[in-house]
Structure 1
Amino acid sequence: MLFKVIYSVLFVLTSVNCCLSAGISSNIRCLQTEKTALLQFKQGLVDESNVLASWETGKDCCEWRGITCSNETGHVVTLDLYYNSSDVYNVETPLSGVIAPSLLELPYLTYLDLSFNNFKGKIPKFIGSLSRLKHLKLAGASLSGPIPPQLGNLSSLYALDLAWNFVTFENLEWLSHLSSLRYLNMSGLNFSEVVNWPESISKLPSLVELQLSSCNLPNVELSSLSFVNSSNSLEVLELSYNFLNLSIFYWMANVSTNLVHIGLAGDQLQGPFPDVFANMVSLVSLDLSYNKLEGRIPKSFRNLCNLELLNLLENKLSDRLEDSVENLSCAQDTLESLSLSGNLFSGSFPDNLTRFSSLKELYIDGTNVSGSLPESFQPLSQLRSLSLVLNQFTGSLPDFTGLSLLRQLFISKNQLNGSIPESIGQLSSLEDLDLSWNSLNGVVTEVHFSNLSRLNSLDFSHNPLSFNLSSDWTPPFQIKSLGLDSCKVGPAFPKWIQTQTKLTSLYMSDAEISDSIPDKFWDLSSSLFELNLSMNQIHGKLPNLSTKNSTFFSLDLSSNRLDGPLPPFPSSVAILLLSKNMLSGPLSSFCETETPNLFNLDLSENQLSGELPSCWMQFQGLFSLNMAKNNFFGKIPSSLGYLKNAALLRLHDNNLSGELPSLENCTELRVVDLGANKLSGEIPTWIGPSLTKLLVLRLR
């Protein structure tokens, strides 16, 4: 977030020379030789989306897409055909083909960007002859083969981006000639054989930003190295997702005192947290997440007065949380994002944390911190996200007055009790609220939701809360995900849920509902993806959901009092759990609608009867099939032999008869329970050789 701003500033700085001369004068047109060169370049490209439709011979090439000319000479200075792969609305396909040498006829070219296209060739050697080039960006262009050392001839180069290609190299000797280089991104390239990478990088005296994420950097000893020609220019150092050791910290301490961003996430750093930050007074952003650092936040952090982002997620820090936070005190006016989740801190919620008045994001999940929460979070009025999940907090929830900017509030899986404060209903910016898995009690009323017009997700599950909402209440929000498991919602099925037309996920299991499901509720099934109403006393019949344009993936209505026949279900359903109801009649309708995605089917403990259908070849993705404790009779259909992915097959406690059909193709079976039926014949000889993964077999 914050370091993206840093990157943007650096890009502006490195691009300024290019852009100052860009533009089109009404009297200046592009040169014919350069137009011809560009048209020859176009001929080597495969342009399926007609991206270069504006590249017509009858038009001034300075007006073509991706081209910028000098407003003084008409020379082409920029060729920018960057493909924006991150834009979900981009319907164009990337360019492919060959990068033609006709670009050599653009002698004043200073900016070349072909990133995220699909060239699938080598980086052309001739690029090293574009002597005025200041920006070369070929990231994600599917390029392969060795990096041509001729790139070392580009002595004027400010920015080089070769990230996320398939290129190879044995050394970085060619880099040392790029004395003007300020930005280098080689993320995603394989550095595993380049043991001298630190020395090569250290020979770049003007380097401001270094991006080497996910490079498989070899684990070399760095503590004795420094930037040989360094002038403290380096400001951004991003080395995340490599395999480094703690010597990287001592190297950084000698590299530059002007470091603004350090990224060492996921680098397998293990051992005591080095106390080397005393001189890094310019540091704004530090990401050390997903490592194995131990101990406390170092005391040298007390010098980091400009720190805005600190991410220590998933380490092994074990100090008293309050003491570690105290070492951040110099940044109490600047720190905006603090992530301490997944560590081993002890103690209570630090009172000194409420002094950090600029905090926008605070994450302290899964740290075993205990005790009560502050009475109020009002001093942290800038908070956008607050997450305190999976700790051992006790007592009541704090007053949330004054947190008008808060968007995410997650305090689930603690030991909080008492009622939910009505001030939570005044969090007008709130989008996601999760208080599940506590011991909160009391009554939930309309007041708790009065100003939550932006709410997208709500989870109060597994709290003994009682809902007292008027039958004609219409919420101010249109929610997408709702969790009310083990809350006291009933006895009536809540009418207000029927107003939620954007609902995709509804969990309302064990909610003391003893009503029927209103017909109008099923009209929401065109948006519902997950529905769990299990363990209630819901009665009535199920409608034909295959006719309602339903999009269910998971449907759990088990442990209710539903009766009547089993209706057809939508083809989208993958998990269908209807056990422990009073459904009756045959399964004849089950084959009427194809459900090719069906993965888990549980119809056990109902009153279903008749012969089992013979359409199981339609459900070859089925993993678990349970139709036990019904009144089925007749033979087990041979089409069950098509369930080659099934691991569990339970048909016990029915009236099935005859011999067991061949299941020798069902080689993934772990559990087969056909007991308490009327099967006859010998135990098949194929069971041992074919069902080698079988753990449970019951035939009697």
Structure 2
Amino acid sequence: MLSTTLSNRPMSSVLVGLLCLVTTSAICCLCSGISPNTRCIASEKTALLRFKQGLLDESNVLASWENQKDCCEWRGIACNNQTGHLIMLDLYYNSSDVYNVETPLRGVIAPSLLELQYLSYLDLSNNYFEGMIPNFIGSLSQLKVLKLAGASFTGPIPPQLGNLSKLHTLDLAWNVVTFENLEWLTHLYSLRCLNMSGLNFSESVNWPESISKLPSLVELQLSSCNLPNVDLRSLSSINSSTTLEVLELSDNLLNSSIFYWIANVSTKFVHIGLMGDQLQGPIPDVFAKMVSLVSLDLSYNHLEGGIPKSFQNICSLESLNLWENKLSDRLENSVKNLACSESTLKSLFLSGNPFWGSFPAELTQFVSLTELYIDGTNMSGLLPKGLQQLSQLRSLSLVFNQFSGSLPDFTGLPSLRLLFLSNNQFNGSIPESMGLLSSLEYLTVSWNSLTGALTEAHFSNLSRLRSLSIDHNPLSFNLSFNWNPPFQLETLDVSSCKIGPAFPRWIQKQRELTSLFMSNASISDSVPNEFWDLSSSLFELNLSMNQIHGKLPDLSTKNCSYFTFDLSSNHLFGQLPPFPPNVGILHLSKNMFSGPLSSFCPTEAQKLSNLDLSDNLLSGELPSCWIKYQELLSLNLGNNTFSGNIPSTVGYLKNLVLLRLQDNKLSGDLPSLENCTELRVVDLGTNRLSGRIPAWIGQTLTKLLVLRLHFNEFYGSLPLSLCGLSVIHVLDLSQNNISGALPHCLNNITAYTSMSSQLEDLTILGFVQLVWKGINIQWGENLKHLRSIDISSNYLSGDIPETMTSMMRLISLNLSRNNLTGVLPSDFGQLKNLESLDLSRNQLSGNIPASLSRLNFLSVLNLSYNNLSGRIPLGTQLQSFNASAYMDNLGLCGPPLTPLCPGDATNQDSPPTSGAEGDKTEQDEDGLITLGFYVSSVLGFIIGFWGFCAPLLLKISWRIAYFQYLNDIKIWNCHV
């Protein structure tokens, strides 16, 4: 994200290495003003030429290294202006420069460098050297600066480096080197700057003691060193290195005792970096004496509480980064503890913490602030008008909060370059004054409730604007037809705003666009031909969910570089044209494209990873050129009218994750997909495919989450290998000609049985349409919670295996319309997550297990048309279903089918009970049948009968509706 990029610690990058640059500058000063008569020493020139012979210089970096030239004038060389001795060799390769067309040097470091005995500066960083760091470097006794960072060295660090007693700067970072101990390091008494970031310190439990023995050390960088998690409180008695000012220990696995070591090692710190060190608990009060601290980075830890009161003593602080912790203080209270740095603080990063409360009014007093990030907290309320006091502010980001109300006037922030306010609850209109922010480059107000129309005044002075995101607000545009924008955008997102109905002409004037998102923008126009020549740099294009009509041009002939191309859910028609060779994501679903895919094979889109042409009118046979698209992850051609066989070349797509060819007219056997071992979704339902279900599905496609082969013509028995689909979520083999028994090993599918199986992130799968409780539903991310088996409408026989009752995660089971026999397993109640159960239209017999009444989540039940008998178990759940759930089981009785089961009523023929007790009972029963009972019964019948029948006799419309209702019931019963 852009916000993350801009949040990199600017003060840290300035401070780290600042003091070491002083040393470097001093050495370089010695090289200035070389006398014209000074020439390099011949033996040293020879040594350099031998060094060059051991290098592979693909970019001719050393072109100036020629024998006939003075070596003091060669690239990367500097000589002493008095003696001519070579004192500096600098072949540093700037790998971070994107415009650097050169390649790094490769090869070995020749021992001829030993001839350079006056060398004080050696930098070979970021080149590619083979083998170990040469131990002879330890004999270059005049070295003051040694930089070998990122030079691909391997093996142990030579302890001879400890002989470099004059060394001021040592940089060995980001090599794959090892060391048994740091004893050699303790001999470098003059060392001021040490960078060993990226080296493995996991076995160096004594690193704090070794560092403390360097009396002149000013800067220490040990980022990403896998520093051992030792209790540093026990080392508090070591001698303090009072000179240490810059400390960078980010990306290690330290514990909070590091704070106490820091407090004891120095009080002169200027920069401390502890990013990503897994620190926990509250921020301790160890910074009270660090009055010189300028930059502090505690981001990406697990710190709790708030900013401690000890920060009230830090009056020189310029950068504070607390990004991504668990700080949950009322932000107003924490900000008060920074009051001492009101005039110095420039960068404040508080994002990703559960801070709460309103926007602190105190923050408006920090007049030096240039960067303020408070993203993803629990902040709410209105933004203060006092924001205008932050006149130096260049970046303000408040995304993912709960700020509300109207947007304030930002015109008091003339330096503002970045304004991110998305994902809040702002309402009202965007003030026209926004158009006066002439320095603004990035504006994002997406996902709010902003209303009104945007006019030319909103953009009047935004000549530097590069990115505009106002999507997902009910905004509209009111711009003149020939409006000429003052800006050239790189990113524009106006999705879910009202841009149409015409295709905006002003967008065609944006010649530097790389990303354009106009999804659901109420456009009901055709795309102008000029638009397709808009920009050769347009990387992302999304015009989906509009009413765009017309045909697509041949985009392979256009000067465009689309990677994402999404025009789905429009009214485009005609044949599909060839597409640009760089396209990676191509979504054209839900249009009216027709004809064959004859243009697909000529498309040389070898980077294609996602192809969705579903829900169109495409026809003919599928092309056979799939072997060209080895990057393909998702292929969706569903809901068209393709016919013929599935090409065997689909089986070459080894990276394929999703394959959807459902709702076509495809026929023949399944081709082998044994090599497609990454498949998660296979949906081939509603076609005319035939043959047996291949055994390789369960043997090689072990990552399958969804397998849908419903409504085809597959036959034969179910292969036992299906039990190997251990992570399957949805198994749908319904409406085929499958016969035989249900496998008894289905309980081997751990996704159905284990309550602790890990849920996979299914966002890559998009949406999968499934029948759920009789309704077609699009399942997205929630698919990970579904566990469903549907083998209905086949010819299965035999019993329901008892092992199925151990599938405790099963949510839906449909085995209806088969020839299953036997009794229902008695432990069905163990399926406690079951929500839908359909076993109708089989030949099941025996009683309904009493355990079924314990299924508290059951909302769909159908046991009709079987041979079940006995009492329906009593329980709130089973009695809540309609009688149709149990109909046509002649032996079933009890609610909701019948009030009573045989034997429940008192037998009238049993002999009377003798004696006084019997007389009493008989009198009580006879006492209920009185004259009043008969009178009330007759009156109730008369009132009930005429209350119902009289309106039918007197009102014709009621009579027609009643008999129509009876007719509907008859028709419904005939179709069950």
**Is the deviation greater in 595-604 or in 496-505?**
595-604
Please tell me the residue identity of whatever aligns with 1:504: T
Residue 250 (1) aligns with residue 260 (2):
yes
What corresponds to 1:581 in structure 2?
591
Picking from 394, 403, 408, the partner of 1:384 is 394
Please tell me the residue identity of whatever aligns with 1:112: L
Deviation, 1:180, is 1.3
Deviation, 1:336, is 0.5
1:637 to 1:212, Cα distance in 2 relative to 1, 3 A: closer
Q: Give the distance between the partners of 1:673 and 1:76, measured in 2 at CA.
A: 71
Residue 11 (1) aligns with residue 23 (2):
no
Please tell me the residue identity of whatever aligns with 1:547: T
TM-score, structure 1 length as denominator? 0.95
| 1:376-455 equivalent positions in 2, closer than 5 A | 376-455=386-465
| 1:118-517 equivalent positions in 2, closer than 5 A | 118-226=128-236, 228-230=238-240, 232-517=242-527
Q: Give the distance between the partners of 1:637 and 1:184, measured in 2 at CA.
A: 61
SS in 2 for 1:563: strand
Contact 1:202 1:227 in 2 (8 A): no
What corresponds to 2:707 in structure 1?
696
Please tell me the residue identity of whatever aligns with 1:54: S
SS in 2 for 1:591: coil
Identity %: 73
CA offset digits 1:318-373 (Å, max 9, x no partner): 10011111111111111110000011111111111111111111110101111111
What corresponds to 1:631 in structure 2?
641
SS in 2 for 1:223: helix
Radius of gyration: which is bigger?
Answer: 2
Picking from 630, 639, 642, the partner of 2:652 is 642
SS in 2 for 1:378: helix
1:623 to 1:26, Cα distance in 2 relative to 1, 3 A: closer
CA offset digits 1:634-691 (Å, max 9, x no partner): 4444443334433333333333444444444444443333333344455445444444
CA offset digits 1:222-264 (Å, max 9, x no partner): 2243585546211101111111111111111122121000011
Q: Give the distance between the partners of 2:99 and 2:287, measured in 1 at CA.
A: 43
Picking from 84, 109, 112, the partner of 1:102 is 112
1:145 to 1:679, Cα distance in 2 relative to 1, 3 A: closer
1:660 to 1:216, Cα distance in 2 relative to 1, 3 A: closer
Please tell me the residue identity of whatever aligns with 2:111: P
Contact 1:202 1:226 in 2 (8 A): no
1:30 to 1:300, Cα distance in 2 relative to 1, 3 A: same
CA offset digits 1:175-230 (Å, max 9, x no partner): 22211111111111111111111001001111111111111111122224358554
TM-score, structure 2 length as denominator? 0.69
SS in 1 for 2:20: helix
1:518 to 1:147, Cα distance in 2 relative to 1, 3 A: same
Contact 1:498 1:520 in 2 (8 A): yes
| 1:530-541 equivalent positions in 2, closer than 5 A | 530-541=540-551
Please tell me the residue identity of whatever aligns with 1:18: I
Contact 2:375 2:401 in 1 (8 A): yes
SS in 2 for 1:589: coil
What corresponds to 1:33 in structure 2?
43
1:226 to 1:471, Cα distance in 2 relative to 1, 3 A: same
Q: Give the distance between the partners of 1:62 and 1:667, measured in 2 at CA.
A: 61
**Is the deviation greater in 337-346 or in 366-375?**
366-375
What corresponds to 1:600 in structure 2?
610
CA offset digits 1:288-340 (Å, max 9, x no partner): 11111111111110111100000000111110011111111111111110000
Q: Name whichever structure is richer in helix by fraction.
A: 2
1:674 to 1:14, Cα distance in 2 relative to 1, 3 A: closer
Please tell me the residue identity of whatever aligns with 1:372: L
Contact 2:565 2:586 in 1 (8 A): yes
CA offset digits 1:506-558 (Å, max 9, x no partner): 11111111111111111126332211111111111221212213322122111
SS in 1 for 2:434: helix
**Is the deviation greater in 291-300 or in 668-677?**
668-677
Contact 1:492 1:513 in 2 (8 A): yes
Q: Give the distance between the partners of 2:277 and 2:489, measured in 1 at CA.
A: 39
1:355 to 1:491, Cα distance in 2 relative to 1, 3 A: same
1:76 to 1:604, Cα distance in 2 relative to 1, 3 A: closer
Please tell me the residue identity of whatever aligns with 1:21: L
Please tell me the residue identity of whatever aligns with 1:132: Q
Deviation, 1:39, is 3.3
1:92 to 1:551, Cα distance in 2 relative to 1, 3 A: closer
What corresponds to 1:523 in structure 2?
533
**Is the deviation greater in 297-306 or in 71-80?**
71-80
Residue 621 (1) aligns with residue 621 (2):
no
Residue 78 (1) aligns with residue 88 (2):
yes
SS in 2 for 1:214: coil
Contact 1:205 1:229 in 2 (8 A): no
Please tell me the residue identity of whatever aligns with 1:152: G
Deviation, 1:145, is 2.1
Q: Give the distance between the partners of 1:615 and 1:133, measured in 2 at CA.
A: 62
Contact 2:481 2:505 in 1 (8 A): yes
1:637 to 1:177, Cα distance in 2 relative to 1, 3 A: closer
SS in 1 for 2:531: helix
**Is the deviation greater in 608-617 or in 478-487?**
608-617
Structure scoring higher RCO (CA < 8 A, sep ≥ 6) equals: 1
Deviation, 1:473, is 0.6
Q: Give the distance between the partners of 2:68 and 2:692, measured in 1 at CA.
A: 86
1:676 to 1:333, Cα distance in 2 relative to 1, 3 A: same
Deviation, 1:560, is 1.4
Contact 1:213 1:239 in 2 (8 A): yes
Structure 2: gaps (5+ residues): 1-9, 712-976
Deviation, 1:272, is 1.6
Q: Give the distance between the partners of 2:617 and 2:316, measured in 1 at CA.
A: 69
**Is the deviation greater in 352-361 or in 19-28?**
19-28
SS in 1 for 2:385: coil
Contact 2:630 2:653 in 1 (8 A): yes
1:692 to 1:174, Cα distance in 2 relative to 1, 3 A: closer
1:237 to 1:581, Cα distance in 2 relative to 1, 3 A: same
